[in-house]
A and B are shown apart, each in its own frame.
Chain A
Amino acid sequence: MAQSFSWQSVEPSDWRSDIQVIIDDGFIYFDFLAGVDRENINGYPGTEVVAHLAKPDLSDSLFIFTQVFNELASITDLIPAANWHERECAEMFGITFNGGAAKPLLRHEDLGRPPLRKSTVLVARVLTPWPGGAEPEIKEDGRKVGNASRRRQRPPGVPENWLTP
């Protein structure tokens, strides 16, 4: 792959114009665009969008990223291939790409919150009994045998009140 990698952080308002500058510098090979949910990691408040562009001979490549909350300018007029990635990013992370195609990629629009956001609780995690709730004297279904008294454990990623019916 590329000889060198570099990272560049840009302001969300400069996203489109900075990518234009990078393309003009010769980074015309578009690899991917993706979202990263960094919510609550080291106090980071939002989601990141990362795009990877490289020179056609792969001698140099650049990851350009920006912090977004809900919307970002679309780059499909600069890079038509980014359309698929923006649609994926939009339905998985709930980011609106202004000026891009609004058509969903795979998910039905009524399926609820974007699934790759950390704040989205997966329904299957709530409906499925967690095998880790068991203890030597507490069975998987919550039944207690012997003199078990320990507080029930909670599965990672499921908020406290989701388990109580």
Chain B
Amino acid sequence: MKHSFIALIEDKCTSCMLCVRECPAWCIHLDSHTVDVTEEGARRPRKVNVLDSFEIDYSLCMYCGVCIDVCPFDALAWDEHRALVTTNREDMLLGIEDLGFSGSS
């Protein structure tokens, strides 16, 4: 397993913010909102967090893996993407669509 990339498995993320708060480099940014989900037979609607955006700033990330360890839902994983090569700092900021898990780790 290469420790060369941290991937997000979007379906598993519950926007709990644990990775964002534990990150020693403060490189994860997460935005979410709450929606009410009414289930049949339930007394009152259930609040569910919906992930709006998830960004890892790879110009700050030091690949320590704390976010992967701390995630209670295994929504973050080591992946075998290559580390980024760019001359533009903004290209280092990867969102949900760029952080997809290739499943190869």
B26 close to A134 (CB less than 8 A): no
Q: Contacts A131-B20, A132-B20, A135-B17 known; A140 to B29 CB distance under 8 Å? A: yes
Asked if B98 is at the interface (CB within 8 A of a chain A CB), the reply is: no
| Chain A residue contacts of B20, Cβ below 8 A | 131-132, 134
Q: Contact residues of A with B, CB < 8 Å?
A: 128, 130-132, 134-137, 139-140, 145-146, 153, 155-156
Q: Give the distance in Å from the alpha carbon of A130 to the alpha carbon of B20 in the complex.
A: 9
Q: Contacts A132-B20, A153-B21 known; A137 to B33 CB distance under 8 Å? A: yes
Asked if B99 is at the interface (CB within 8 A of a chain A CB), the reply is: no
Q: Contact residues of B with A, CB < 8 Å?
A: 15, 17, 20-21, 23, 26, 28-34, 49
B28 close to A131 (CB less than 8 A): yes
Q: Contacts A131-B20, A153-B21 known; A136 to B29 CB distance under 8 Å? A: no
B15 close to A136 (CB less than 8 A): yes
Q: Give the distance in Å from the alpha carbon of A145 to the alpha carbon of B33 in the complex.
A: 9
For the residues of A in contact with B, the DSSP-based class is loop
B34 close to A131 (CB less than 8 A): no
| Chain B residue contacts of A131, Cβ below 8 A | 20, 23, 26, 28-30
Those 9 A-B pairs whose CB atoms lie nearest each other, nearest first: A132-B21, A136-B34, A132-B20, A136-B32, A131-B29, A136-B49, A131-B20, A131-B26, A136-B33
| Chain A residue contacts of B15, Cβ below 8 A | 136
**Which of A130, A132, A146, A155 is B34 in contact with, Cβ under 8 Å?**
A146
| Chain B residue contacts of A130, Cβ below 8 A | 26
**Which of B21, B23, B26, B34 is A137 in contact with, Cβ under 8 Å?**
B34
| Chain B residue contacts of A156, Cβ below 8 A | 21
Q: Given contact pairs A132-B17, A137-B34, A140-B29, enumerate 16 new A-B contacts (beta carbons under 8 Å).
A: A130-B26, A131-B20, A131-B23, A131-B29, A132-B21, A132-B23, A134-B17, A134-B20, A134-B30, A134-B31, A137-B33, A146-B33, A146-B34, A155-B21, A155-B26, A156-B21
| Chain A residue contacts of B23, Cβ below 8 A | 131-132
| Chain B residue contacts of A146, Cβ below 8 A | 33-34
Which residue of chain A has its CB nearest to the CB of B30? A134
Which residue of chain A has its CB nearest to the CB of B57? A131
| Chain A residue contacts of B26, Cβ below 8 A | 128, 130-132, 155
| Chain B residue contacts of A137, Cβ below 8 A | 33-34
Instruction: State how many angstroms separate the Cβ of A139 from the closest Cβ of chain B.
Output: 7
| Chain A residue contacts of B34, Cβ below 8 A | 136-137, 146
Q: Give the distance in Å from the alpha carbon of A139 to the alpha carbon of B15 in the complex.
A: 13
Instruction: State how many angstroms separate the Cβ of A138 from the closest Cβ of chain B.
Output: 10
